């Protein structure tokens, strides 16, 4: 990114460096000024001026270090956790999770509510969100700045305006989620609505097992199979925001009918229903309980076919995207250890060059990956222009 600074004004350079410093604090936690100097290559007086600016804006806290050492110890700089936060929502098929996520990435408070039925009425869900938000904001630290709202949903989301075109497992078609949020939670700031696997990919890329990887495929499987793809360090969204729907990549044209209308999509072959069927269960049986009864990979023979389809799909993605890591999240994280041999055998058939560079990984984040990713999509503009972003929020609130 530094290469783009040729010809930049002094103010642009300062904004860029403030962003770099805040990113270090937000993603890495407390750090000494000396370490910031080492990490950024900036000189000591510049780092001192920048951290002071971040502290004045309410985004960082500077502290004299405790403990003994030789020479004058370096001032410690910490993200100001109660200075700014994002409101994050994770809409799932069966429940809604809402949280205040602080600068620095910690979940400061969290609420959950179950939906009353399988295809929840959007109005009822947004009434629920409004109530959860009121509870969360009542607990938020006084004086903290709300930077905006991020929402993750298992569906296809239009990037430009947060319209959910299709969320098959919730029964939603063309629901204007961002507009409904704006009506229910006015004044909370910019709203970002995204696919849950895309949000999970952002979280794994910034804070999980994909940290340091610029090219990553994140798979999130439960009812369906979602995907989020990071290319050159950025989320791939496609022309309208609909990119990364790997679950609807046809792998078996003679396979079962998918919710999207086609046959043999990847999610019909490796999704929850396929796993339940392979383990002798009935549709609707709890897949986690059935998988827990499979004691080891050696006794996972009934899952062999699913392992093969998993490996074929991953091989396709490796050939197309040349990722350095493929993360198997959700249901796939329980499946992968049981079918690792079949997956490896199928992956062997992928092109040698990209296959040699890829590793398969289990997620580094817990079940809150989509929630954290939703929060990170709110923090992103702050990390590009910390002072400007805070000034805009204060102007809005005035």
Q: Phi/psi of residue 326, each to 5°?
A: -115, 120
* Site stretch for Zn ion (CB under 5 A), options 119-127, 186-194, 261-269, 379-387: 261-269
* CA dist., res. 398 & res. 68, Å (int): 45
Q: Please give the structure tokens belonging to residue 330.
A: 């959700």
* Site stretch for Zn ion (CB under 5 A), options 19-27, 102-110, 244-252, 337-345: 244-252
* Site stretch for Zn ion (CB under 5 A), options 172-180, 262-270, 303-311, 334-342: 262-270
The residue within the footprint of Zn ion, chosen from 80, 111, 115, 248 (CB under 5 A), is 248
Q: How far is the CB of 267 from Zn ion (least distance, A)?
A: 6
Identity of the residue, 87 or 265, whose beta carbon is nearer to Zn ion in the bound complex? 265
* The residue to which tokens 């004058």 are assigned: 72
* Site stretch for Zn ion (CB under 5 A), options 154-162, 182-190, 247-255, 373-381: 247-255
* CA dist., res. 360 & res. 344, Å (int): 10
Site size toward Zn ion, by CB under 5 A = 4
100 by DSSP, 3-state: which? Answer: strand
The residue within the footprint of Zn ion, chosen from 237, 260, 291, 340 (CB under 5 A), is 260
- DSSP secondary structure letters along 211-268: TT-SSEEEEEESSSEEEEEEETTEE--TTTS-TT-GGGSBS-TTSPBPTTS-BSBHHH
* CA dist., res. 256 & res. 267, Å (int): 10
* CA dist., res. 37 & res. 375, Å (int): 28
CA distances from 393 to 31, 190, 396 (A): 26, 10, 5
| 251 binding Zn ion? (CB under 5 A) | no
Identity of the residue, 37 or 252, whose beta carbon is nearer to Zn ion in the bound complex? 252
In the region spanning residues 9 to 38, those forming contacts with Zn ion, defined by CB under 5 A, are none
CA 68 to chain CA centroid, nearest Å? 40
Identity of the residue, 57 or 170, whose beta carbon is nearer to Zn ion in the bound complex? 170
Q: How far is the CB of 306 from Zn ion (least distance, A)?
A: 17
Is residue 96 a contact partner of residue 125, using CB atoms and an 8 Å limit?
A: yes
Q: Please give the structure tokens belonging to residue 214.
A: 């610029």
Identity of the residue, 227 or 354, whose beta carbon is nearer to Zn ion in the bound complex? 227
Q: How far is the CB of 248 from Zn ion (least distance, A)?
A: 4
**Pattern of binders to Zn ion over 68-107, x per CB under 5 A?**
----------------------------------------
Identity of the residue, 93 or 101, whose beta carbon is nearer to Zn ion in the bound complex? 93
Q: How far is the CB of 260 from Zn ion (least distance, A)?
A: 3
Identity of the residue, 274 or 325, whose beta carbon is nearer to Zn ion in the bound complex? 274
The residue within the footprint of Zn ion, chosen from 258, 312, 339, 387 (CB under 5 A), is 258
| 265 binding Zn ion? (CB under 5 A) | yes
* Site stretch for Zn ion (CB under 5 A), options 13-21, 170-178, 256-264, 281-289: 256-264
* The residue to which tokens 């002094």 are assigned: 10
Identity of the residue, 36 or 156, whose beta carbon is nearer to Zn ion in the bound complex? 156
Identity of the residue, 137 or 250, whose beta carbon is nearer to Zn ion in the bound complex? 250
Please report, in angstroms and rounded to a whole number, the separation of the first and last CA atoms in the chain: 34
* CA dist., res. 379 & res. 187, Å (int): 17
Kind and range of the H or E run holding 395:
helix 386-397
Q: How far is the CB of 151 from Zn ion (least distance, A)?
A: 24
* Cα angle: 276, vertex 278, 281; to 5 degrees: 45
CA distances from 290 to 284, 338, 341, 362 (A): 11, 13, 20, 20
Is residue 374 a contact partner of residue 152, using CB atoms and an 8 Å limit?
A: yes
CA 289 to chain CA centroid, nearest Å? 26
* Site stretch for Zn ion (CB under 5 A), options 63-71, 116-124, 240-248, 380-388: 240-248
Identity of the residue, 218 or 266, whose beta carbon is nearer to Zn ion in the bound complex? 266
205 by DSSP, 3-state: which? Answer: helix
Identity of the residue, 269 or 376, whose beta carbon is nearer to Zn ion in the bound complex? 269
User: Using CB under 5 A as the criterion, which residues of the chain lie in contact with Zn ion when the complex forms?
Assistant: 248, 258, 260, 265
């Amino acid at each position: 990114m530094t290469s783009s600074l040729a010809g930049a004004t002094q103010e642009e350079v300062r904004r860029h460096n403030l962003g770099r410093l805040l990113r270090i604090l937000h993603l890495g936690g407390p750090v000494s000024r000396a370490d910031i100097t080492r990490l950024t290559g900036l000189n000591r007086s510049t780092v001192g001026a920048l951290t002071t600016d971040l502290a004045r804006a309410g985004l960082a806290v500077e502290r004299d270090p405790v403990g003994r050492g030789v020479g004058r110890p370096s001032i410690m700089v910490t993200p100001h956790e109660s200075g700014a936060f994002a409101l994050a929502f994770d809409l799932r098929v069966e429940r809604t999770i809402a949280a205040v996520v602080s600068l620095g990435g910690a979940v400061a408070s969290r609420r959950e509510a179950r939906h009353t039925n399988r295809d929840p009425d959007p109005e009822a869900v947004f009434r629920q969100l409004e109530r959860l938000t009121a509870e969360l904001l009542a607990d938020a630290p006084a004086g903290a700045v709300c930077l905006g709202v991020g929402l993750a949903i298992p569906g296809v989301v239009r990037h430009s305006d947060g319209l959910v075109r299709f969320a098959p497992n919730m029964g939603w078609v063309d629901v204007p989620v961002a507009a409904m949020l704006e009506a229910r939670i006015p004044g909370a700031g910019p709203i970002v609505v995204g696919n849950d696997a895309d949000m999970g990919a952002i979280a794994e890329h910034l804070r999980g097992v994909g940290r340091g990887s610029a090219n990553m495929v994140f798979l999130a499987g439960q009812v369906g199979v979602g995907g989020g793809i990071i290319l050159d360090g950025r989320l791939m969204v496609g022309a309208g925001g609909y990119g990364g729907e790997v679950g609807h990549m046809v792998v078996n044209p003679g396979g079962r009918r998918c919710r999207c209308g086609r046959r043999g999509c990847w999610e019909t072959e490796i999704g929850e229903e396929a796993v339940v069927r392979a383990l002798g269960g009935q549709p609707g049986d709890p897949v986690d309980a059935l998988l827990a009864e499979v004691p080891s990979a050696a006794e996972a023979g009934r899952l062999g076919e699913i392992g093969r389809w998993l490996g074929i799909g991953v091989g396709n993605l490796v050939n197309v995207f040349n990722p350095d890591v493929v993360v198997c999240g959700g249901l796939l994280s329980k499946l992968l250890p049981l079918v690792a041999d079949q997956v490896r055998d199928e992956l062997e058939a992928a092109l040698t060059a990209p296959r040699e560079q890829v590793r398969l990984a289990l997620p580094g984040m817990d079940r809150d990956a989509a929630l954290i990713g939703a929060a990170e999509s709110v923090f992103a503009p702050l990390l590009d222009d910390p002072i400007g972003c805070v000034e805009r929020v204060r102007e809005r609130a005035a």
